[in-house]
Amino acid sequence: MSLTGKPPETEDRVIANDGFFPDVVLSEFLAPYRIPAEYDNEAVITAVKLGIVEINTQVAAVKATKIVDGFTTLDACLDAQNEATIDGEYSLTVLYKKAVSSWAKAWLLQQFNATNRRNTAAESDVPAVMNTTDYWLNQSKSACYGFLAAFGLQNSPTLARDPDQAYVALL
């Protein structure tokens, strides 16, 4: 077991993306986003997959534009633009992964809340969980906005501007 309480095969699991956007290694999500060990491994994997789908949809304009420009991956595009790196990783890749991870955490919080409600006393925790879910959805939205803005696409119609839109996607 590691510090996250998850077995190494879970932490080392790579969620393959679509070939353009970066893959996500679960260890990049579990520890930094403080995902509790109690969360089922399959639920964590599902959350990241759904996060990838949601964020890829929101930033699809970047992919479409850059493929037309002749780039086959986000990394190739960022390399050609001499994009800044942070600890060896492109800053826009960091933003993309933040968007995915924040969305995935929000989804997991909703799932955990739904499966752990046993009595009316638990109902008093709902507003706190909702605020936390909103926080993570806003983090995801902010990261998407920053990512799109770097490409001049911050007005993309696919970006969920209303937090309620993003919340509906969680249900």
Q: Which of 58, 56, 87, 86 minimizes the C-alpha distance to 74?
A: 56
| pLDDT at site 82 | 93
For residue 93, give the nearest of 146, 30, 131, 26 by alpha carbon: 146
Number of helical (H) and strand (E) elements in the chain, helices listed first:
9, 4
Q: What pTM value is reported for the model?
A: 0.81
Q: What ranges do the domains of the chain cover?
A: 8-170
Q: Give the model's pLDDT for residue 127.
A: 57
Residue 129 sits at the vertex; the CA angle it makes with 124 and 131, to the nearest 5 degrees, is 110
Q: Dihedral, CA atoms, 45, 48, 49, 55, nearest 10 degrees?
A: 180
Q: Write out the chain's pLDDT in tens, 171 residues.
A: 444 555 556 668 899 999 999 999 998 898 888 888 888 889 999 999 999 999 999 999 999 999 999 999 999 999 999 999 999 999 999 999 999 999 999 999 988 765 555 555 545 555 555 568 899 999 999 999 999 999 998 876 666 555 445 444 444
Q: For residue 135, how far is the Cα from the chain centroid?
A: 13
